[in-house]
Amino acid sequence: MTANTFANTDSPAEGGVYRHRVLVIGSGFGGLFAAQALRSAWADVTLVAKTSHHLFQPLLYQVATGILSEGEIAPPTREVLRRQRNARVVLGEVTNIDLAERTVTSELIGRTTVHHYDSLIVAAGAGQSYFGNDQFAEHAPGMKSIDDALELRGRILGMFELAEASTDPADIERLLTFVVVGAGPTGVEMAGQIAELAHRTLRRDFRNIDPHQARIVLLDAAPAVLPAFGDKLGGYAVKRLEKLGVDVQLGAMVTDVDATGIEIKDATTSQTGSADAAGTPGGKRRIESVCKVWAAGVQANPLGKQLAEQSGAGLDRAGRIEVEPDLTLPGHPEVYVVGDMISLNRLPGVAQVAIQGGRHAARDIRARINGRQSGKIFKYHDKGSMATISRFSAVASIGRLKLTGFLAWLMWLAVHLVYIIGFKHRVTTLLHWAVSFVGRGRSERTVTHQQIFARTAISRLGENFAPTLPPSPDGRPSWSGNVSALVPRPAEAPGQTEPADAKEPEPAASSAV
C-alpha cells in the first residue's frame, strides 16, 4: 500500500461486538434518506460523496436565476447527520467498486481510501447528457450541480451588463438572446424565470438597454412541452410561456453550439413561426446567442458501468443499470442501487424514486441484520409531478388530478418547502420567495468572473491541473496518516436502538489536515 493509500478496515474492536458495516455512495436524495433510515439499525454507516453537501436539485434553477442562495438548497451533509451517532461522512469521489472483495475506493486530492462493507447502497445519481457532444458543455452549461448554477447565474446576469456597455445593436441583440435547450420541467422552469428576471426584476435597472426586449427561446427536438405531463398540462405550459414572451420552438434538434450561437435542424414539419425558422422544412438554421442553457437529457453515473461489468447486469442507453425487483444487483443481494442509476419498470428519474428506493434498501438491510426475511420487491408510490412556469403559475399531475395555475403553484410551494432539509433553510427560503414572488427583487444577484470562467479554465488545463496539498516543513507529504476505522461499540446489546457513547480511535500521528 503506497504512502497516500489508506485502508478503512472497519474491523471489530478487541472484545467488542461486531456491527454490520453499511457503505452509502452519494449524498443526494437516495443516499441521504437511506443513511437516515438506518439511524436505529445495529450498524455503522459510512456515507461517501464527492461533495460535502446534500443538493436539493429541483430548486437549482432558482439559484441560477438569483432567487435563492446555494446554502439554502445545499445544507452540509455533516450537519444533517450530526445527531445520528452511527453515521459518519467521508468526502471523496468514488473511483472503483470491487464486488468480489466488497471494497470501495475513493479519492480526495491525491489521497486514496479503501472502504470495506457488508452492505452497499449505490446512490451516485446522474449527470448531464449531451448525447455524445460533450464539447457543447463549454458554451451551454447544464443544471446538475452548484457549480453549474453559479456559472449560469454569472452568465445570465452578465449578459445584461455586457449589453449595457455595448453600442452595437447586433451585439446587444446577441447578448440579450437566451436559449434554453430542453422542454422538460427544468427547461420550462428555467425559461420562465429568465423571462421574469428580464421583464420584471431588471426592467428599471439599466439606462442604455431595455431588459424587457430580451428574447428567451425554449428549444426541444420533441413535439411537445412537458411530454410526461400529458397534452393538457403541456398545452397550458406553452400558452403561459408564450404569454411571458418565451419563444417556444419544438421539433428543433441542436446540431452545434459555439461561443456566439447555436445551430438547429428542424423536423420535417416546422413547429414554429419565428423568423429563425423561415427556411425550408428540415433545413438548418442558426440562433445568435451568447448565453445558452442545456436542460436536455441525463446520463447515469459511470459507476453503473463498473457494476454492470462485474455483475453481468445490463445497461440502457442512458447508462442506467438493470437491477432486480428488490433493487439489488444480480448475484449480489448485499448491493443495492437506487435513484437515477437504475433501470426498472420505466421508473422516472425524480426525487421520489430515489427517496423511496433509499428507504427500501435501508429497510431490507435492517431486516437482514435482525434475522428477518429480506429481498422484498420494491414498490414505487407515485406522488405526482409538478413544475412551475412563473410566479403564481404551475402545473401538477397527481394521479388522475390535473391542476394548473395558482392552486398548482401553491401546492408546488408547499411540497418543495417540506422536502427542504432543516428548519432554518425552510424559513430563509420562504423569505426569499416572498421577496421574489410578491415583490420584484432577487436576493442573490452577486456574480464574479471566477464563477463564469473558472471551470472552463480548469478544463483547458487538462492533465496539467492536479490539485495537491503543499508538503510539511520537514518535507513529508501533508496528505498522510491513517484513517480512523469505524469500530463496534463494545458496551451495546443487539436490541439497543441507539448506540452508546464511545470515542472512535484516534488516528495515527501525522501532519494531515
* Residues with catalytic roles: 189
Q: Say which amino acid occupies 326.
A: D
Residue with cell 408564450: 242
Is residue 327 left, alpha or beta, with left meaning phi > 0 and alpha meaning psi from -120 to 50?
A: left
Is residue 371 left, alpha or beta, with left meaning phi > 0 and alpha meaning psi from -120 to 50?
A: left
Specify the pairing of strand 111-116 against strand 5-8. parallel
Half-sphere exposure of 445 (CA within 13 A, CB side): 17
H or E element, residue 282: none
Report residue 249 as a C-alpha cell. Answer: 420552438
Cα–Cα distance for residue pair 335/319, rounded to 1 Å? 18
Cα–Cα distance for residue pair 193/9, rounded to 1 Å? 49
Report the 10 Å Cβ neighbour count for 58.
Answer: 22
The answer to whether the beta carbons of residues 326 and 364 sit under 8 Å apart is yes
The answer to whether the beta carbons of residues 384 and 417 sit under 8 Å apart is no
Query: Residue 133: exposed, middle, or buried by beta-carbon count in 10 A (0-12, 13-18, 19+)?
Result: middle
Size of the chain, expressed as the number of residues it contains: 513
- Pick the closest to residue 115 from 107, 102, 123, 104 (CA basis): 104
